[in-house]
Structure 1
Amino acid sequence: MTNSSTSSTSTKTPSEESRKGSLAAFKGLLPFLRPYKRQFALAGVALTVAAGATLTIPYAFKRMIDQGFGASAGVSSVDNVNATFLALFAVATVLALATAARFYIVSWLGERVTADMRSAVYSHVVSQSPEFFETTQSGEVLSRITTDTTLIQAVVGTSISMALRNVLLFIGGLVMLFVTSPKLTAIILGLLVLVVVPIVLVGRRVRKLSRDSQDRIADASAIAGEILNAMPTVQAFTHERIESNRFGASVENAFETAMRRIRARAVLTVVAIVLIFGTIVFVLWLGAHAVLAGTMTGGDLGQFILYAAIVSGAIGALSEVMGEAQRAAGATERLLELLAAKSRIENPPKPLALPPRSASGAALELKNVMFSYPSRPDTAALSHLSLSIKPGETVAVVGSSGAGKTTLFQLFLRFYDPQSGTITLDGVDIRQLDLHALRDAIGIVPQDTVIFSTDAMENIRYGRAGATDAEVIAAARMAAAHEFIARLPDGYNSFLGERGVRLSGGQRQRIAIARALLKNPPLLLLDEATSALDAESERLVQAALEAAMVGRTTVIIAHRLATVQRADRIIVMEDGQIVETGTHAALVALGGIYANLAALQFHSGHMMHEITDV
Structure 2
Amino acid sequence: MSNTHSTSTTPASGSMATLSGLLPFLRPYRRQFAIAGIALVIAACATLTIPYAFRQMIDMGFSKIGDGGTHGIEHVNLTFLALFGVAVILGIATAARFYMVSWIGERVTADIRNAVYAHVVTQSPEFFETTQTGEVLSRLTTDTTLIQAVVSTSISLALRNLLLFIGGLVMLFITSPMLSSIIIVMLVLVIVPIILFGRRVRQLSRDSQDRIADASAVAGEILNAMPTVQAYTHEQIEAQRFSSSVEHAFSTAMRRIRARSLLTMIAVLLIFGAIVFVLWLGAHAVMQGEMSGGKLGQFILYASIVAGAMGALSEVMGEAQRAAGATERLLELMSVQSPITNPVMACALPQKDMHGATVDVDHVFFHYPSRPESAALSEIQLSIKAGETIALVGSSGAGKTTLFQLLLRFYDPQQGKIRIDGVDIKELGLHTLRGTIGIVPQDTVIFSANALENIRYGRVDASDEEVIQAAKLAAAHEFIERLPEGYQAFLGERGVRLSGGQKQRIAIARAILKNPRLMLLDEATSALDAESERLVQQALETAMQGRTTLIIAHRLATVQRADKIIVLEHGRIVETGNHAELIAHGGVYAHLASLQFHLA
Query: For this structure pair, what is the TM-score category when the shorter chain's length is used for normalisation?
Result: over 0.9
Figure out how many residues of one structure are paired with residues of the other and give that number: 596
Deviation larger for 246-255 or 102-111? 246-255
Q: Which residue of 2 aligns with 1:128?
A: 123
Contact 1:345/1:417, CA 8 A, preserved across alignment: yes
Contact 1:61/1:302, CA 8 A, preserved across alignment: yes
For the pair 1:6 / 2:2, whether they are aligned, the reply is yes
Contact 1:6/1:219, CA 8 A, preserved across alignment: no
Contact 2:398/2:570, CA 8 A, preserved across alignment: yes
Q: Which residue of 2 aligns with 1:55?
A: 48
1:241 Cα offset (Å): 1.8
Contact 2:554/2:596, CA 8 A, preserved across alignment: no
Contact 2:6/2:335, CA 8 A, preserved across alignment: no
How is 1:359-508 mapped onto 2 (pairs within 5 angstroms)?
Answer: 359-508=354-503
Residue of structure 1 aligned with 2:37, choices 39, 44, 48: 44
How is 1:28-427 mapped onto 2 (pairs within 5 angstroms)?
Answer: 28-71=21-64, 72-427=67-422
Alpha-carbon distance between aligned partners in 2 of 1:66 and 1:11, rounded to the nearest angstrom? 65
Deviation larger for 241-250 or 378-387? 241-250
Partner SS, residue 34 of structure 1? helix
TM-score normalized by the length of structure 2: 0.98
1:531 Cα offset (Å): 0.3
Contact 2:355/2:516, CA 8 A, preserved across alignment: no
Which digits, 9 at most, give the CA deviation of each residue in 1:79-100, with x for residues without a partner? 1011101100000000000000
Contact 2:385/2:548, CA 8 A, preserved across alignment: yes
Deviation larger for 236-245 or 275-284? 236-245
For the aligned residue pairs, the C-alpha RMSD in angstroms reads: 1.4
Gaps of 5+ in 1: 607-614
Q: Flag the 1:142–1:167 CA change in 2: closer, same or farther, 3 A.
A: same
1:142 Cα offset (Å): 0.1
Partner SS, residue 386 of structure 1? strand
1:593 Cα offset (Å): 1.1
Q: Which residue of 1 aligns with 2:15?
A: 21
1:9 Cα offset (Å): 5.2
Alpha-carbon distance between aligned partners in 2 of 1:234 and 1:358, rounded to the nearest angstrom? 51
Contact 2:7/2:336, CA 8 A, preserved across alignment: no
Letter of the 1:346 counterpart: T
1:21 Cα offset (Å): 2.0
1:233 Cα offset (Å): 1.4
Contact 1:10/1:334, CA 8 A, preserved across alignment: no
Which digits, 9 at most, give the CA deviation of each residue in 1:456-482, with x for residues without a partner? 000000000111100000000000000
Percent identity of paired positions between Structure 1 and Structure 2: 73
Contact 1:382/1:577, CA 8 A, preserved across alignment: yes
Q: Flag the 1:9–1:186 CA change in 2: closer, same or farther, 3 A.
A: farther
For the pair 1:542 / 2:524, whether they are aligned, the reply is no
Residue of structure 2 aligned with 1:577, choices 572, 592, 598: 572
Which digits, 9 at most, give the CA deviation of each residue in 1:1-21, with x for residues without a partner? xxxx82325999xx943xx52
Alpha-carbon distance between aligned partners in 1 of 2:5 and 2:236, rounded to the nearest angstrom? 31
Q: Flag the 1:300–1:330 CA change in 2: closer, same or farther, 3 A.
A: same
For the pair 1:597 / 2:592, whether they are aligned, the reply is yes
Contact 1:7/1:137, CA 8 A, preserved across alignment: no
Partner SS, residue 416 of structure 2? strand
Contact 1:357/1:522, CA 8 A, preserved across alignment: no
Alpha-carbon distance between aligned partners in 1 of 2:38 and 2:471, rounded to the nearest angstrom? 60
Deviation larger for 490-499 or 236-245? 236-245
Alpha-carbon distance between aligned partners in 1 of 2:355 and 2:283, rounded to the nearest angstrom? 98
Partner SS, residue 565 of structure 1? helix
Contact 1:385/1:578, CA 8 A, preserved across alignment: yes
Partner SS, residue 578 of structure 1? strand
Deviation larger for 358-367 or 389-398? 358-367
Partner SS, residue 8 of structure 1? coil
Alpha-carbon distance between aligned partners in 1 of 2:438 and 2:569, rounded to the nearest angstrom? 25
Contact 2:6/2:337, CA 8 A, preserved across alignment: no
1:237 Cα offset (Å): 1.8
1:201 Cα offset (Å): 1.5
Letter of the 1:286 counterpart: L
Q: Which residue of 2 aligns with 1:609?
A: none
Q: Which residue of 2 aligns with 1:612?
A: none
1:247 Cα offset (Å): 1.1
Partner SS, residue 209 of structure 2? helix
Letter of the 1:234 counterpart: V
Q: Flag the 1:311–1:414 CA change in 2: closer, same or farther, 3 A.
A: same
Contact 2:356/2:386, CA 8 A, preserved across alignment: yes
Alpha-carbon distance between aligned partners in 2 of 1:201 and 1:219, rounded to the nearest angstrom? 29
Partner SS, residue 603 of structure 1? coil
